Chain A
Amino acid sequence: MHGASLRCSLPSLLEDHPLDTMRPGDVFAMNDPFRGGIHANDIVIFRPVFAEGRPRWFGGTLIHVADVGGAAAGGLAAVATDTFAEGILLPPVRLYAEGAETDVMRIIGRNSRVPDKVLGDVKALVAGAHTVARRVEALVERYGADGLAAFVEGSLAYAERRTRQEIEALPDGTYRGSFTIDTDGISERTFDVAVAVTVDGDRVVVDFDGTSPQSGGAINSSVSQTTSGVIFAVRCFLDPSIPMNDGCFRPIEVRLPPGTVVNPSPPAACGGRIVTVAAAIDAILDALSGCRPEHGVAPSGLVQVFTLTGVDDDGARWITLLYEFGGIGARTGSDGPDATGAFFLGGRSVIPQIEPLEGQYPFVVRRSRLLPDSGGPGRWRGGLGVETEIELLVDTVVGVRGDRLEVPPPGARGGEPGRPGGWELRRGDGTVDRLGSRQSGVEAKAGDVFVLRTSGGGGLGPVAERSPDDVRADVAEGRVSPEGAARDYGVEVAR
């Protein structure tokens, strides 16, 4: 989901700091969403690599760092209404000048609720950029600066050539797609992401004309983030083995109307942009499946993020930020994978395990299971969501942020939607409080059980075309209940 992040940031750096002002040992930091950044927590570091006395290349790194201030701990300002509520903003600034740390480091630390953590993260980014630079320098030593430059251009040209060859194989034409975002958590309206993808010989134009104006909430997706989504979605229709570099972008023109959710104007909040970039990707997948009918995919459940925080016995604050994933949409010819997030996310390996969590925090996980019947029914079934129950052992404050919960991932080509996920608190007195998609500061008591369910992926193709054997196999493996088989597929399965 960061395929375009460094390429979108670098021009702003060069605008503010021309090459001839850079010195060996300089390191730059930036995160401004309106200058190529994504949102405040995604800090980008650049370190110039000098050859023959001038900067020829940059080592660049990016991670989501720990808290950088703003209205909510950990960058989860679910209902931020402008960028200033989301943390400290960094235009391109020197973090190190000729090897010496600048005061910027102290400013970043002072603006964080967990200064040690965030500075540790920033220093890790710097160490990464140094490593890149050292290795590039070793290449310069071995091949010479011009030799390396020739290789770099060669590999960019190679990726470009293969991308063009693959685009050329797509039938020419303009293909339209769209996706509607259910809510921004602030206003009463929905948001459309509309796209027209024009395949013209060996090039592609992706135009978001017709997309809704930007949100007063946090769901806006910066140019950088939207562009990452575009390159991801287009690449899904090309040979996946093409190496990823800037050459892949050369045949692709991206048109982002200003003032929309895919290219917001300042001071829009951008931290909740996952839902929008996912919408942009699903709109493009929808559009391009028009030229490649065998490439049909249904939309997926997305990531659900939540924080649990409290004060332990000796008065210290504890806070943990956790994720769960929805089911992936069905693909032509294949059911969607379970609980592994949208196509552009990285998979379940980022979700912490229960044993180490219970060792660190005052809660007990009572169950974590695939949710039967949550995958959207269809000729091809959507992937399943999950249900996790967490028993809170102490008074805890809960914050949640989820998307595609009010309107679940829709089906495609006659398939049914996935079952929507959600959040709830089962109180000690037996009452159940349903939480909204995005909510922070929810107070829970010791003994309450926090429940999260993620959405299933959408189904693809009419249910009637699903083979009863596949339905029976789903029942045997617990992905569909016998009741669900009868209700959703009309297939009776003995218990």
Chain B
Amino acid sequence: MRCFAGVDVGGTFTDVVLGTDDGRTFVRKLLTTHADPRDAVVEGLRLALADAGAAPDDLVRIVHGTTLATNVILERKGGRIAFVTTDGFGDLLRLGRDARVEDDRYDLWFTTPQPPVERSLTFEVAERTLADGTVRQRLEPAEADRVAAGLAAARPDAVAICFLHAYADPANEAAMAEACRRALPGTFVAASSEVWPEVREYERAMTTFMCAYVGPVMTTYLSGLRQRLVDLGIACPVEVMESSGGVMSAEAASRRPVYTVESGGAAGVVAAGALSRSLGADRVLSFDMGGTTAKAGIVTDGAPGLTHDFQIGGKGSFGGTRPGTGFPVKIPVVDLAEVGAGGGSIAWVDPAGSLRVGPRSAGSVPGPACYGRGGTDATVTDANLLLGYLNPDGLAGGVSLSRAAAEDALGRAVAEPLGVDLVDAAWAVHEVANAAMAAAIHVVTVQRGLDPRDFVMVGFGGAGPMHVARLAQSFGIATVAVPWAAGVASALGLVSADLSVDRVRTRVTALVPEEADDVEARFVALEQECRAELGAEGRTTVARSVDARHRGQAHQITVPLLPGAVTAAAVPELIERFREHYRDAYGVQLDTPVELVNLRVRLTRLVEKPPAPVAGAPVAGGSQVGTRPARFADVGTVEAPVHRWERMGPGDSLVGPCLVDGTDTTVVVPPGHRAEVDARGDLVLTVEG
């Protein structure tokens, strides 16, 4: 037997999904072990292998989704990092590029995000390269030795080097890195020209610094995990989901750990992408609603939408993050809008009488009031229980639900202050949560110039299937899909991802036919770097794009290239594509000349994956197991038929209003919707008539 495992470590649960080569899927959900997340990872793998009756050496691939990098940065648990930069610019990271947004504007006590860089570990180096790559001041060996000696005396946990214009000519920086590695053998050294050689010193330096900050922790974590798996007899490689939806080897993740900052979020979007292929949908809106947050992202032709402006710990309004509110990293990251609305989000009435949901969350401890674990705040989950959506018999993992506790909490927090009955209060909480999540969907669609009506919406996560159909309706989206095992969809997404690597090179030049050969040569060189990283074997695909702008502008937009070499003849077409993108983005047409800023390459190596799960045959006697009263828009409370998901088979079809209970979630099928089971067991909802 050959098995493939996806392991997704989240804030509350560690999900392990094991897929076998004969199409079976085994799921284990464990509480995350925060002291050492590897405990739950290893235990979950052991249990899932036992469930499948598989031996440790049947495992051919483990893909790991981890929030380790983000947690290390946000909780400031990295080590002491030396920052080495050009003379005169030691304050580069501390000066920062903060923006005052939202509440911060009127807060006299606002603080700017301060990176974990220490002045005493900052080293300024006599050297200088200019924008065109000319080395104005060469790094003299004596100067490199002086700095390296200072570093050796300071004994940092890792070193980050960023010299001005090192993207244009890395010679000085490379010489410095070499001297550091000599002086500090075994110490993690990150150089900006190796990590992400893109123009703009602040973001490049921060990306490099964060790489160094996370590096030692990630290396220790992954090598320790490796050892514990070997102890279990598991010898297959461990791969890590990176932020743009590809997968990297553990070795690569140790070298460039900052690539994993959005590892967990990316897995969900990849899962939605995998579903898009089986649905035959070229545009999918991924909607992942868990315990504390909801995330929206898009997938076009199987590829997740990406951003190059990711902010670690960033904030903004309504799911959009704003530059200057966190620590920027320039690597490509899935473009996710995130709002603090999840099953555990707490509902409250503010002093002026307005109903609010979140941003505080009851989390898993104490959890929603209805869990009966000591929570007394009214949450979205409590509202969903009172609306009849949640299966009152309880959830997977033996969580029983107390209707009385939910009524008590919601009555006190919402119904009484607003002077409405309990079900109206619950409905209002559900709708306010939906409005917050709609804002996130708006960010990744309308704000990006995309019409949400062109998308199929995929809803997953523990709470997603209860909200997705109503949300889709508000955007005029006609088709909704809820994947089988929706509660662990992200872990399933991990095993459907391919290996990939992204590289960038800044090259500021006029976009004219005479430059085509030079640009092509640079692209070929970038691709060779990618192949060196991923290995040559197997089938690969290459995606090229450029960042371009009108001459005189400060900012650029990314334009994907058509397949094929960049030739003089192809340049006019590329210029036209840029102008089209520009028009779409800004609504105005300019005639000024166009210049290139960055060249980007993404190389993907296609890997073996487990076959898609196959839905079981329908159970004799039908899928309906009863009814329960549930509240819907327009029709109010009705006695809704309740179906069991596992009793349904391909082609089975239901008409809303009805509810489909799965092991870890309930799919709400509103009036006017038809729900059908596809070959994989997914539920596809369409608006009738």
Contacts and interface: CB of A to CB of B under 8 A. Distances in A.
B107 A240 contact: yes
Contact of A369 (B90, B128, B165, B590): B90
Contacts of B167: 355
Contacts of B105: 232, 240
B369 interface: no
A106 interface: no
A158 interface: yes
Interface stretch (A199-207, A209-217, A342-350, A408-416): A342-350
Given A162-B352, A165-B351, A240-B107, A349 B98 contact: yes
16 contacts: A123-B588, A127-B586, A131-B587, A158-B354, A161-B352, A331-B108, A334-B109, A347-B99, A348-B112, A348-B324, A355-B167, A355-B199, A358-B165, A364-B128, A364-B130, A368-B92
Nearest to B589: A123
Contacts of B89: 354, 367-369
B100 interface: yes
Instruction: Pick the 9 closest A-B CB pairs, nearest first.
Output: A367-B88, A349-B324, A359-B131, A127-B587, A349-B99, A240-B106, A347-B98, A240-B103, A478-B119
A352 interface: yes
B202 A477 contact: no
A334 B111 CA distance: 9
Given A158-B354, A359-B132, 6 more contacts: A120-B590, A235-B106, A285-B108, A348-B98, A354-B89, A477-B119
B599 to A, nearest CB: 16
B586 A337 contact: no
A130 B118 CA distance: 48
B628 interface: no
A340 B199 contact: no
Given A346-B99, A351-B97, A359 B91 contact: no
A238 interface: yes
A355 B199 CA distance: 7
A358 B98 contact: no
Contacts of B586: 124, 127
B619 interface: no
B138 interface: no
Nearest to B87: A367
A337 B108 contact: no
Contacts of B91: 368-370, 386, 478
Interface in B342-392: 350-354
Nearest to A367: B88
B324 A236 contact: no
A426 interface: no
A476 interface: yes
A318 to B, nearest CB: 10
A241 interface: yes
B554 interface: yes
A358 B352 contact: no
Interface residues of B, number: 53
Interface in B93-140: 94-100, 103-112, 118-120, 128, 130-132, 136
Given A352-B554, A356-B199, A120 B588 contact: yes
A238 to B, nearest CB: 7
Nearest to B356: A241
Contact of A359 (B119, B353, B508): B508
Contacts of A367: 87-89
B56 interface: no
A21 interface: no
A116 B108 CA distance: 40
Q: Is the interface of A mostly helix, strand, loop or mixed?
A: mixed
Nearest to B136: A364
Interface string A121-147: 001100100110000000000000000
B529 interface: no
B164 A355 contact: yes
Given A162-B352, A347-B324, A355-B201, A297 B99 contact: no
A353 interface: yes
Contacts of B88: 365-369, 389
B323 interface: yes
Nearest to B120: A476
Interface string A230-249: 00100110101100000000
Q: Is the interface of B mostly helix, strand, loop or mixed?
A: loop
A441 interface: no
A333 interface: yes
Interface in A382-413: 386, 389
A359 B351 CA distance: 53
A339 B96 CA distance: 10
B568 to A, nearest CB: 24
Nearest to A479: B119
A295 interface: yes
Contacts of A123: 588
A192 interface: no
Given A165-B351, A349-B98, A333 B109 contact: yes
A338 interface: yes
B351 A162 contact: yes
B588 A124 contact: yes
B95 A386 contact: yes
A476 B119 contact: yes
B182 interface: no
B590 A353 contact: no
Contacts of A240: 103-107
B161 to A, nearest CB: 16
B588 A116 contact: no
Contacts of A358: 130-131, 165
Nearest to A138: B446
A158 B352 contact: yes
Given A123-B588, A162-B351, A236 B106 contact: yes
Given A116-B592, A355-B165, A355-B201, A348 B508 contact: no
B277 interface: no
B228 interface: no
Which of A117, A162, A337, A364 counts the most chain B CB atoms within 10 A?
Answer: A337
A386 B103 CA distance: 26
A346 B164 contact: no
Given A127-B587, A370-B91, A340 B98 contact: yes
A353 B97 CA distance: 9
Contacts of B132: 359
A477 B118 contact: yes
A6 B310 CA distance: 32
B103 A347 contact: no
A348 B199 contact: no
Given A123-B588, A358-B130, A477-B119, A297 B165 contact: no
Given A235-B106, A355-B200, A358-B165, A165 B352 contact: yes
A151 to B, nearest CB: 12
Nearest to B107: A240
A124 B90 CA distance: 38
B200 A370 contact: no
Contacts of B106: 232, 235-236, 238, 240
A353 B103 contact: no
A2 to B, nearest CB: 11
Contacts of B95: 338-339, 348, 368, 370, 386
A479 to B, nearest CB: 8
Given A124-B586, A240-B105, A337-B112, A348 B201 contact: no
B199 A359 contact: yes
Contacts of B109: 331, 333-334
A343 B167 CA distance: 36
Interface string B177-206: 000000000000000000000011110000
A343 B108 contact: yes
B475 to A, nearest CB: 11
A337 B588 contact: no
Contacts of B104: 240
A123 B88 CA distance: 40
A123 B105 CA distance: 28
Nearest to A358: B131
Nearest to A353: B200
